[in-house]
């Protein structure tokens, strides 16, 4: 691969021409009583692996952090080193390495199994603790009088995978999150390669789970996913196959990523990121990547907008779209569970 910006020239972008930067586009409305109460703005771009933009709203050059949508690419060094074979990881365990999971028992069990196989413990995970993403998991913990632990962190699988890579190479695990650690440098190189960017052109910050996190234009994020689903390289194909075969491990029940992969039987792969990021890869005949960013960092309209774009471009079947109806016109309810309005795409 070589870096290129060719996809941003001589292309029509709604609100501008020839790749000129534009303001965020109106992506979703929030209604109450039949009127619009609030609006969500942002940017979305759909790209071919070769770099041609098929569709864009807002600014495809908008630079932001990819957040957890980077996880499939952060897992690449494990496949490159045959770590799943060396330690006997199952596909569901490798899927949780790429997940932002709900903290459901199957997710916790998979992370626990990874740690056991590499001879480490939950105390080695440096992702921190937060309430589980799954509402049912929170309720279950409360019923049992238990508090969430590090294994419930939605990034615990990623961190277990990072530890596995370090154990395999004989690298220190105490500082595995340091950007200068050899494993994090391998991840940075993988991100650069698949984003078609030089490594020194990628911004680096600290994620919510304390791991390095990467900033780049949305165009490059979308191209990463288009290249991932188009690649003939074994590592890329295994990542796509793993995500498609174990969608329940990538997120969990009542989560968009899991449901869109289930409904499309893995023809679409989906990965959310914090602060209003959503990336998708479209397999099959026309292999494409999509990247979406909500300007306010909210997630409540992300699924509606993503599905609207997919439907507009004919990338999702009508029957599949209808099966995902819960996501494209999301009801808003008050504290008495009375429906007061909706969140829906404005595309």
> Which residues, 6+ apart, have CB-to-CB distance to 156 below 8 Å?
101, 107, 108, 111, 125, 127, 150
Per-residue pLDDT of the chain (347 residues), as tens digits, is 433 343 333 333 333 444 456 799 999 999 999 899 999 999 999 999 999 999 999 999 999 999 999 999 999 999 999 999 999 999 999 999 999 999 999 999 999 999 999 999 999 999 999 999 999 999 999 999 999 999 999 999 999 999 999 999 999 999 999 999 999 999 999 999 999 999 999 999 999 999 999 999 999 999 999 999 999 999 999 999 999 999 999 999 999 999 999 999 999 999 999 999 999 999 988 899 999 999 999 999 999 999 999 999 999 999 999 999 999 899 999 999 999 999 999 99
Angle, CA of 20, 24 and 30, to the nearest 5°:
155
Strand pairing class (203-206; 53-57) = unpaired
How much is the pTM? 0.92
Coil/strand/helix, residue 165: helix
φ/ψ of 207, rounded to 5, equals -80, 175
Closest CA to 159 of 195, 190, 120, 191: 120
Contact call for residues 325 and 311 (beta carbons, < 8 A): no
């Amino acid at each position: 691969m070589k870096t290129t910006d060719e996809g941003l020239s001589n292309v029509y972008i709604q609100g501008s021409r020839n790749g000129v930067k534009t303001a965020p586009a109106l992506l979703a409305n929030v209604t109450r009583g039949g009127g619009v109460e609030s609006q969500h703005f942002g940017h979305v771009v759909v790209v071919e692996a070769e770099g041609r933009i098929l569709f864009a709203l807002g600014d495809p050059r908008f630079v932001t952090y990819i957040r957890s949508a980077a996880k499939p690419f952060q897992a690449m060094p494990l496949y490159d080193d045959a770590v799943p074979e060396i330690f006997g990881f199952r596909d569901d365990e490798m899927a949780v390495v790429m997940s932002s999971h709900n903290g459901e028992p199957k997710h916790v069990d998979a992370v626990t199994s990874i740690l056991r196989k590499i001879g480490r413990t939950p105390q080695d995970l440096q992702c921190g603790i937060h309430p589980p993403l799954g509402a049912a998991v929170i309720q279950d913990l409360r019923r049992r009088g238990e508090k969430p632990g590090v294994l419930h962190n939605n990034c615990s699988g990623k961190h277990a995978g990072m530890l596995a890579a370090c154990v395999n190479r004989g690298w220190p695990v105490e500082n595995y999150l340091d950007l200068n650690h050899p494993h994090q440098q391998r991840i940075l190189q993988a991100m650069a390669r698949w984003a078609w960017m030089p490594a020194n052109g990628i911004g680096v910050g600290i994620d919510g789970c304390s791991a390095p996190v990467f900033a780049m234009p949305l165009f490059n994020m979308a191209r990463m996913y288009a290249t991932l689903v188009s690649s003939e390289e074994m590592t890329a194909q295994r990542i796509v196959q793993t995500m498609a075969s174990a969608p329940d491990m990538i997120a969990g029940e009542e989560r968009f990523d899991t449901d869109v992969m289930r409904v499309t039987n893995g023809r679409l792969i989906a990965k959310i990121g914090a602060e209003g990021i959503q990336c998708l890869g479209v397999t099959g005949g026309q292999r494409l990547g999509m990247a979406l960013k909500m300007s306010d960092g909210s997630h409540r309209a992300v699924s509606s907008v993503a599905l609207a774009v997919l439907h507009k471009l004919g990338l999702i079947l009508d029957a599949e779209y209808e099966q995902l109806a819960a996501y494209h016109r999301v009801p808003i309810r008050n504290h008495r569970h009375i429906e007061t309005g909706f969140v829906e795409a404005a595309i």
